[in-house]
């Protein structure tokens, strides 16, 4: 039983390392500033990507003290 757990943990660790080593590229389709103004790309391009069924990743920044500098990124 203990051997199976160790083998499973090792397999998961190796698979994570393999994923981290593979090159992942992406295009920024839409970026906005804290006021919602488009700084890169366009809303129509984002809509096009979604309609074509392409994978979309969403990231955001939070500005807790409202100084226009990100305090938290995700």
Q: Domain extents for the chain?
A: 24-74
* Reported confidence tier of residue 51, pLDDT bands at 50, 70, 90: very high
Question: In this predicted model, what pLDDT tens digit does every residue of 7-38 receive, in sequence order?
Answer: 677 666 666 655 555 556 778 889 888 888 89
Q: What is the pTM of this model?
A: 0.57
* CA distance readout (Å), 51 to 34, 38, 46, 71: 26, 20, 9, 33
> Which element (helix H / strand E) includes 10?
helix 2-21
Average pLDDT for the chain: 79
CB of 44 within 8 A of CB of 58? no
Q: What is the pLDDT of residue 68?
A: 82
């Amino acid at each position: 039983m203990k051997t199976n757990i160790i083998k499973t943990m090792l397999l998961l660790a190796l698979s994570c390392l393999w994923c981290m080593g593979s090159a992942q590229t992406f295009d920024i389709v839409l970026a906005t500033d804290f006021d919602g103004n488009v700084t890169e790309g366009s809303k129509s391009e984002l809509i096009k990507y979604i309609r074509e069924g392409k994978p979309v990743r969403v990231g955001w920044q939070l500005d807790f003290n409202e100084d226009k500098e990100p305090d938290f990124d995700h």
